[in-house]
Amino acid sequence: MKAFIIDRYGKKEVGRIGEMPAPEVRDDDVLIQVHAASVNPLDSKIKSGEFKLILPYRLPLVLGNDVAGKVVRVGARVRDFKPGDEVYARPDDDRIGTFAELVAIKASSVALKPRSLSLVEAAALPLVALTAWQVLVETAKLKKGQKVFIQAGSGGVGSIAIQLAKHLGAFVATTTSTANADWAKTLGADVVIDYKKQDFASVLRDYDVVLNSLGNDELNKSLQILKPGGHLISISGPPTPAFAAERGLAWPVKQVLRLLSAGIRRKARHKGLHYSFVFMRADGAQLREITALVESGAIRPVIDNAFPFADTDKALAYGESGRAKGKVVVQVI
């Protein structure tokens, strides 16, 4: 099959389209003919080698962490899907590879795509929607009337998290550029801070939850805007010992992560706050919840641009540029 491959790790690694063996289909797998996949910051981080300690992939590696397509075959133990079903998924992180003609994914990580969406639209949702769900619903347990600050509201995760938080009844603040301020309000943001003109730490106060997706400076400033007992949840790191334990990582890796997160955990404790790191996981049951929200009109995918499969390298470069409003999609079919 044709696939988009990296042969080595590195920030300057571009990747190439080449031939790879068709994936093995295990008894609990669904084999999907990929119609569309979408670009995530995670792809670039994997490509550069940032996650080598946590995700030790074999090279050459097929990139891609989101998919929408049609089922072509199911494993012997699969009962919930059949050939011809239109589905979407975020594959388990040890079996990525959706920038390809075919991908095999554990059936428990797959869901029927929302009927109201095209396959291209559906491909823009799994990773970012699961991230928003696992931060706001599962980890923060966000309640009606609470205040949440979602950084980078015009990004892939931010644009979905704003919509989900509003659906949950929260008061939402976000940051974006001047050009995207009005658009962020249409997604549901109550307060939009132009990061080029204002410092969110000097504007916001007494928030219950912060979703951090940026760097250390924003992470530390986020502690200033939380009320006592508030929860700072980061999807960009640093990872915690609790995360290392969940993943069953080797002892030396656990110690590295303990050191990396020691500063922010200590600062949060001193202020009476909670700090968590969320590395989203594949989950078909949660995707079905997201499907229901899409069908009800509570959430809609946001797509900036779609690239043909032959231009996957250009799609990744555009995603890395930071200019995208919402998601960048790769159309394989």
Q: Residue 39: beta bridge partners? A: 328
CB 109 within 8 A of CB 67: no
Q: What is the pLDDT of residues 156-202, one digit of tens each?
A: 999 999 999 999 999 999 999 999 999 999 999 999 999 999 999 99
Q: What pTM was estimated for this model as a whole?
A: 0.97
Nearest to 72 by CA among 114, 117, 22: 22
pLDDT band at residue 287 under the 50/70/90 scheme: very high
Q: Give the pLDDT confidence score for residue 159 in this predicted structure.
A: 97
pLDDT of residue 54: 84
**Coil, strand, or helix at residue 193?**
strand
Confidence (pLDDT) at 228: 97
Residue 7 in this model has a pLDDT that exceeds 90: yes
Domain with CATH 3.90.180.10 in the chain: 2-125+301-331
Q: What is the pLDDT of residues 223-266, one digit of tens each?
A: 999 999 999 999 998 999 999 999 898 899 899 999 999 999 99
Q: Please report the pLDDT score of residue 55 as a whole number.
A: 87
Query: Mean pLDDT, to the nearest integer, of 298-319?
Result: 97
Q: Which CATH superfamily is domain 2-125+301-331 in?
A: Medium-chain alcohol dehydrogenases, catalytic domain (3.90.180.10)
CA 123 – CA 125 distance, rounded (Å):
6
Amino acid 53: pLDDT? 81
Domain 128-277 superfamily per CATH: NAD(P)-binding Rossmann-like Domain (3.40.50.720)
**What pLDDT score does 51 carry?**
86
Across 22-59, b (16+ Cβ under 10 Å) vs e yields ebebbeebbbbbbbbbbbbbbbbebbbeebeebbebee
Q: What is the band of 8 on the pLDDT scale with cuts at 50, 70, 90?
A: very high
* 54 token code pair: 């946590």
How do residues 128-149 score in pLDDT, each as one tens digit? Answer: 999 999 999 999 999 999 999 9
For the beta sheet containing 147-150, the strands, ordered from the edge strand earlier in sequence to the opposite edge, are 191-194, 171-176, 147-150, 207-212, 226-234, 274-277
Span(s) in the chain for CATH 3.40.50.720: 128-277
- What pLDDT shows up at residue 322? 83
Helix (H), strand (E) at residue 46: helix 41-48
Q: What is the 3-state secondary structure (H, E, C) of 241-293?
A: HHHHHHHCCCHHHHHHHHHHHHHHHHHHHHCCCEEEECCCCCCHHHHHHHHHH
Alpha-carbon distance 111 to 286, whole Å?
9
Residues pairing with 5 in the sheet: 16, 62
Each residue's pLDDT tens digit, 29-84: 999 999 999 999 999 999 999 988 888 899 999 999 999 999 999 999 999 999 99
